């Protein structure tokens, strides 16, 4: 009886495969070991819906057995019984290192129903990486919170909703275009070291942290399908923006805000598109990619949002104009650090395909300090926000703001300490996760500092 035995690390990277495994799946071990993940053998929907649950049960009970079907190198499906057990470093009392899967082919036909929730996750998160739109939504909400904290009726709720939808579609479109061009340029195909959150995060379980969405590799969507979906999301962004601009005119009685919001939206959209798209391919130009992300997810986004949602005409170079820019600076730095640290595991493949970002340019060892510089810049600019927040927001609590900034900086500094130590190790993934969480925590903190805490104080 043929019995495949495969071991992998905690992210699914294949470490060993026996001869029966090579025969059953159709790959030579040289094609797999250290290069591919066990998800290669399963349909994408099964990976999303079942694999995380299987691993969790194996961890809880010591092993987990089930029936499923796999796909071999030739694209042929075969039914199988699989037993998964966690593996440990020299004994069960030591830390877990990965999993062992024993697969036996069976004659029984296996069908795994795919739930609606899985289909939703596939399109809303796996293919589009929609969960990461928090990086673009929190800056918008911070502008609304600032306006709400500054006075009554300073922003239009309909405009806020439309602005959030339009930016969300634009962000997703950029994600898809980036995936398309990275696969087309061979960058994602050459990447064998990318990070997947796996079971390291309850919130981001199974999410791709680097190396693109891997949706094409998993068979969730084709390359042409990715391009088509990117164009559809772009069209959706354009349609929502048109409605937003009309609403802005209706609210303010002027085209001024609409015109400036449109210009800034176009600039941000072009920066997102040409981040990987030729001929500019900003990510390959030794720092221009990082600058583009800082601007697109920072000052350009918050200033554009101010024009889009404001109930009154915003004059260029006015106090509100500069306030919106100041609000965007910390967000820009924090989002840039997400991109920055996610480039560490991708460095080898990125260098091979001319994706010359700052990690490739300086090398991993020297580039560690870039993370700290960006982190310091983010919180230095955030601390300085209190200078104008105290002036503009009634009942602004500077003590809450400064303590919150200090605690969030310490959280980010912990991520840097791990990066400093594990910049060439898979343990770096914990810093990648913390960097994503930091941007989310900061966004929530800003909403409390600018609106909720002052509002609570006003009614006490």
Class of domain 120-459 (CATH, top level): mainly alpha
* pLDDT attached to residue 92: 65
* Structure token pair of residue 451: 């609106």
* Structure token pair of residue 76: 């042929």
Q: What gap in Å lies between CA 9 and CA 16, rounded to an integer? A: 10
Residues of the chain with CATH 3.30.450.20: 4-105
Calculate the CA 448 to chain-centre distance. 23
In degrees, rounded to 5, the angle at the alpha carbon of residue 13 between the alpha carbons of residues 171 and 17 is 150
The pLDDT profile of the chain, 460 residues, written as one tens digit per residue, is 799 999 999 889 999 999 999 999 999 999 999 999 999 999 999 999 999 999 999 999 999 999 999 999 999 999 999 999 999 987 667 889 999 999 999 999 999 999 999 999 999 999 999 999 999 999 999 999 999 999 989 999 999 999 999 999 999 999 999 999 999 999 998 898 999 888 888 888 888 999 999 999 999 999 999 999 999 999 999 999 999 999 999 999 999 999 999 999 999 999 999 999 999 999 999 999 999 999 999 999 999 999 999 999 999 999 999 999 999 999 999 999 999 999 999 999 999 999 999 999 999 999 999 999 999 999 999 999 999 899 999 899 999 999 999 999 999 999 999 999 999 999 999 999 999 999 999 999 999 999 999 989 888 7
H or E segment and range at residue 454: helix 453-459
Query: What is the bridge-based pairing of β-strands 4-9 and 96-105?
Result: antiparallel
* pLDDT attached to residue 161: 98
- CB distance 289 to 275 below 8 Å: yes
pTM of this structure: 0.94
* pLDDT attached to residue 203: 81
Got the DSSP string for 143-206? Answer: HHHHHHHH-SS-B-HHHHHHHHHHHHHHHHHHHHHHHHHHHHTTHHHH--S--B-TTS-STTTT
- CB distance 458 to 149 below 8 Å: no
Give the contacts of 303 (CB within 8 A, at least 6 positions apart). 264, 321, 324, 325, 328
* pLDDT attached to residue 174: 97
Q: What gap in Å lies between CA 447 and CA 330, rounded to an integer? A: 14
Class of domain 4-105 (CATH, top level): alpha beta
Torsion over CA: 188, 191, 192, 194 (sign): negative
Residues of the chain with CATH 1.10.600: 120-459
Question: Partners of 103 in the beta sheet?
Answer: 4, 82
């Amino acid at each position: 009886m043929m019995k495949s035995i495969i071991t992998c690390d905690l992210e699914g990277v294949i470490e060993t495969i026996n001869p029966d495994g090579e025969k059953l799946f159709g790959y030579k071990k040289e094609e797999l070991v250290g290069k591919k993940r066990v998800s290669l053998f399963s349909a994408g929907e099964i990976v999303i819906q079942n694999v995380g649950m299987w691993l969790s049960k194996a961890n809880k009970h010591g092993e987990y057995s089930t029936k499923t079907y796999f796909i071999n190198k030739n694209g042929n499906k075969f039914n199988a019984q699989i037993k998964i057990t966690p593996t440990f470093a020299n004994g069960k009392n030591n830390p877990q290192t990965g999993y062992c899967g024993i697969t036996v082919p069976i004659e029984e036909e296996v069908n795994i129903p795919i739930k609606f929730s899985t289909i939703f996750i596939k399109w809303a998160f796996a293919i589009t990486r929609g969960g990461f739109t928090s990086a673009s939504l929190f800056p918008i909400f911070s502008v609304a919170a600032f306006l709400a904290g500054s006075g009554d009726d300073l922003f239009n709720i309909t405009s806020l909703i439309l602005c959030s939808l339009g930016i969300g579609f634009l962000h997703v479109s950029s994600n898809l275009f980036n995936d398309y061009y990275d696969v087309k340029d061979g960058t994602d195909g050459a990447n064998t070291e990318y990070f997947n959150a796996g079971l390291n995060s309850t919130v981001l379980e199974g999410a791709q942290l680097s190396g693109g969405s891997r949706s094409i590799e998993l068979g969730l969507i084709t390359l042409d399908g990715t391009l088509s979906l990117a164009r559809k999301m772009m069209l959706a962004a354009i349609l929502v923006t048109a409605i937003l601009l009309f609403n802005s005119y209706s609210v303010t009685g002027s085209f001024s805000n609409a015109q400036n919001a449109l210009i800034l939206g176009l600039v941000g959209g072009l920066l997102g598109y040409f981040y990987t798209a030729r001929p500019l391919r900003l990510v390959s130009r030794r720092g221009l990619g990082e600058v583009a992300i800082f601007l697109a997810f920072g000052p350009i986004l918050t200033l554009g949002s101010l024009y889009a949602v404001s109930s009154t005409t915003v004059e260029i170079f006015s106090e509100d104009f500069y306030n919106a820019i100041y609000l965007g600076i910390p967000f820009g730095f924090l989002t840039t650090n997400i991109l920055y640290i996610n480039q560490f595991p991708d460095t080898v493949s990125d260098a091979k395909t001319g994706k010359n970002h700052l990690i490739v340019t300086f090398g991993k060892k020297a580039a560690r300090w870039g993370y700290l510089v960006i982190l310091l810049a983010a919180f230095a600019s955030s601390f300085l926000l209190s200078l104008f927040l105290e002036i503009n927001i009634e009942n602004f609590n500077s003590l809450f703001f400064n303590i919150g900034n200090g605690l969030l900086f310490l959280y980010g500094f912990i991520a840097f300490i791990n990066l400093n130590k594990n910049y060439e190790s898979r343990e770096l993934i914990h810093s990648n996760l913390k960097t994503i969480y930091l941007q989310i925590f900061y966004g929530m903190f800003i909403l409390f500092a600018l609106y909720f805490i002052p509002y609570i104080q006003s009614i006490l």
